[in-house]
Amino acid sequence: MVCTLPLALAGCNVERSLQIESEQSTGDRIQNWTAAQQNFWSSASQGSRLIPYAWYQALEQAGSKSLFKQRAHLARFNYPPGPASTDFPLGFAIDRQADKALQATRLRWYADQKGDTAATSEPWLGMTCGACHMGKVEYQGTTQIIFGGPSMGDFQSYVEALDNALVATRENPEKWERFAARVLNGRDTVENRALLNTAFDRHLAWQLQAKRTNRTSIKYGYGRVDALGRLYNKMTQFAGVTNFAGNAPSAPVSYPFLWDIYKQKFVQWNGAARNTRVWKRNSSSPDLGAYGRNAGQVIGVFGEVVTQKRGIGLASSLNSKNLIQFERLISNLQAPLWPSHFPAIDKSRLARGKALFAANCRDCHQSKEIQKRGQPTEKMILFQDTDDKNRTDIQMACNAYVYEVPTGRLAGTFNTTTGREFRKREPGYDLLHAMVRQATVYHLRDVVGGAAGRLFESVLSGQAGASGRLKRISAAEAHHTCLTARHPTLGYKARPLDGIWATAPYLHNGSVPTLYDLLLPANQRPTAFYLGTREYDPQKVGFKTGSGNGNNFLFKVNQPKLGNGNGGHEYGVDKLSEEDKLSLLEYLKTL
C-alpha cells in the first residue's frame, strides 16, 4: 500500500508530502502511528539549534558558489530528502523560541531584532529525532520509511561540511559579500553589517571550538556516530572551558532502533541511562528517566545549556513539551513487519528456525512469549562475564567509562550524583548526569509542576562514572581497566529482536553488514564492505555491500584497531550448519 504523509514544518506554514510504502499502514497509520504522529516525529523541534535558518538559506558550499542547501549537495550526507518545497532533509527541524535565557545561540544581526517571545524570535535549523531514528529501505523500486529505525545519515561529514562552509564564508570576501547581502536583504545597512560580523564570528568560534575538541582519526561513515564522546566534549563548552583539547570521539556506534525501548530499564548500548517512571498518577504521566535521557541527546545534537547563571536548575533550549510527546509516541511505535513485496518467508524453514532461536538466542534476546509484564526486556552482558570469543569491541563502553572532563564553571557546585562538590576534573558520566538533571529540573517545573520537578531531582540517575579515578591513563591502561573493572556500564545490552531485519548493519558498532554474516564465525565475517545504499538484500538480511549505486564509503574492520572490531558474539551459532543458519534467518525475518 502506498500512502501520503503530510508533514507540516514546525514553525513555518509549509505543507509537504512524502510517498511512503508500508506493510503496516491502515488508512494513514504506519507502524501504529497516524500521519500527524509521523509528521511530528519528522519535523517537530526538540530544541536543537545548529545554525540560524536565515544563515543556512544564504550559506554557500565551501568550494563553490552553489548554496549549501542544494538538494544534490545534501544528498551526499544520505539523510532522507524532504519534498521539493523544503530546503533541508527529513529529521531536521525549525526551532523558534524565546532566547532571552540563552547565551551561545542568542545572536543578533540586525537592529531591533527581537527574541523575547517565540513569535518574534529568529528561527534556527537543528536536528530532531527523525534525523537519527528514521530509516529507509529500497527494494526493486519500492521505498519504505522505517520510523524509529536507524538512520543511514553521515553526521560527521555533514557537520564538517557545514563548518568548512562557515570558515570559507568568513575568509573569502566575495563569499562574505554574497552571504551578507542574502541574510540582510531589505535591511542591509552599515550598522547591520557590523552586527552580522560580530554575530557570525561568535557562532563560528563556537563551532570551531567544538571541532577542535572532537578531533578523531576514525571516519564514522553512514549510520554511525560517537554520540557520548561528542556529548562529553560539548558539556565542557557549556561549562565555559576554552583550553580543553577534548577526548577523541573514537568509538562510533549504530543508531539504536526505538520500538519497544520503553519496556527496557537501561538505554544506550552500554546501559548508560535509565527509563524511570516516577510519577504514576495516571497512564499519561511522563517517564522522567526517559526525559532525562532524551535531554542528554538534545544537548549532544546542538541543544544549549546555560551555566553562567544557576538557580533552580540550568536554563537550556530544551523543548520539554515536545520531548515528552516524543517519548509517548515511542511507547505506541510498533516494529516494522517483513514487507510483502520482499521474497516470501520460507515456511518450510520457519519452525526449525524458531527452535534454533529458542535454543541459541532467547536467553539474551527475549522473545515476546517469555517477556514478563513490568519487567525489563533487555539483558546487560558485562565484559567480565563474557569470554574472549564472545566479547565484542569494547571501545564505546570503555571510552564512556574512562573519559574525564574539566568541569569549568560547575567546579565547586554540588554534585547530586556523588553527594559532594564537583572537583576541577570529573568522570564524564558524572558531569553529564548532573548537567542533564539540572537542565531537566529547570524545564519540568513548567511541565509537571514544582513538586514533581524536585522529586525528579532526587531520582534521575544513569550509571555513575568511576568517581575518584582522576588521572590520565594510556590507551593500553584504559583497555586493561575496562576488562578488569566491574561496573554496570562496562558491557553491552542484548535486547529483543523485533524488526531486526530493518536495522542493518549489525553489532553495536555497525561492523557486520548482514544478519547472515553475523551467524558466521567471527574470522569469516567481511573485513571490508561498502556503505551508503539503502538497496536491500533480503537473502542475507541487510543492505547490499558492493561498490557503486550509492555505496561510496568503504568500512574497514579494525582500521583503526579499536572501535571498528567485528569479533565476538558467536555463542555457538557459528557452529550451525548452512541449512540451520538459513532456517534461523527465516525466523528472524518474522520477529
DSSP-assigned letters across all residues of 299-318: HHTT--B--SS-BSB--B--
Least confident span in 153-157, 379-383, 394-398, 458-462: 458-462
* Residue 418 confidence (pLDDT) above 60: yes
Q: How many CA atoms lie within 13 A of 456 on its CB side?
A: 35
Question: Do residues 350 and 581 lie in contact, with contact meaning Cβ atoms separated by under 8 Å?
Answer: no
Confidence of residue 461 (pLDDT cuts 50, 70, 90): very low
Tell me how far apart the alpha carbons of residues 588 and 591 are, in angstroms, rounded to a whole number.
5
Question: Do residues 268 and 488 lie in contact, with contact meaning Cβ atoms separated by under 8 Å?
Answer: no
Q: DSSP label at 339?
A: P
Residues of the chain with pLDDT > 70, as a percent, come to 87
Who wins on pLDDT, 442 or 449? 442
Mean pLDDT of 405-415: 91
Question: Do residues 391 and 476 lie in contact, with contact meaning Cβ atoms separated by under 8 Å?
Answer: no
Tell me how far apart the alpha carbons of residues 61 and 503 are, in angstroms, rounded to a whole number.
32
**Helix, coil or strand: residue 497:** coil
Exposure letters 222-250 (e unless 16+ CB within 10 A, then b) = bbbbbbbbbbbbbbbbbbebeebebbbbb
Least confident span in 456-465, 472-481, 486-495: 456-465
Q: Which residue type is seen at 266?
A: F
Give the chain's mean pLDDT.
Answer: 88
Tell me how far apart the alpha carbons of residues 249 and 225 are, in angstroms, rounded to a whole number.
9
Predicted pLDDT at 23: 39
Who wins on pLDDT, 182 or 276? 182
Tell me how far apart the alpha carbons of residues 299 and 342 are, in angstroms, rounded to a whole number.
39
Question: Do residues 164 and 236 lie in contact, with contact meaning Cβ atoms separated by under 8 Å?
Answer: no
pLDDT in tens, 537-573: 999 999 999 998 889 999 999 999 889 999 999 999 8
Question: Do residues 545 and 203 lie in contact, with contact meaning Cβ atoms separated by under 8 Å?
Answer: no
Query: Alpha carbon of 56 to those of 97, 357, 541: distances in Å?
Result: 18, 49, 38
Helix H or strand E segment including 100: none
Predicted pLDDT at 420: 86
Q: Is the pTM of this model over 0.75?
A: yes
Mean pLDDT of 287-302: 81
Question: Do residues 415 and 438 lie in contact, with contact meaning Cβ atoms separated by under 8 Å?
Answer: no
Confidence of residue 294 (pLDDT cuts 50, 70, 90): confident
Kindly state the cell numbers that stand for 178: 554574497
* Residue 530 confidence (pLDDT) above 90: yes
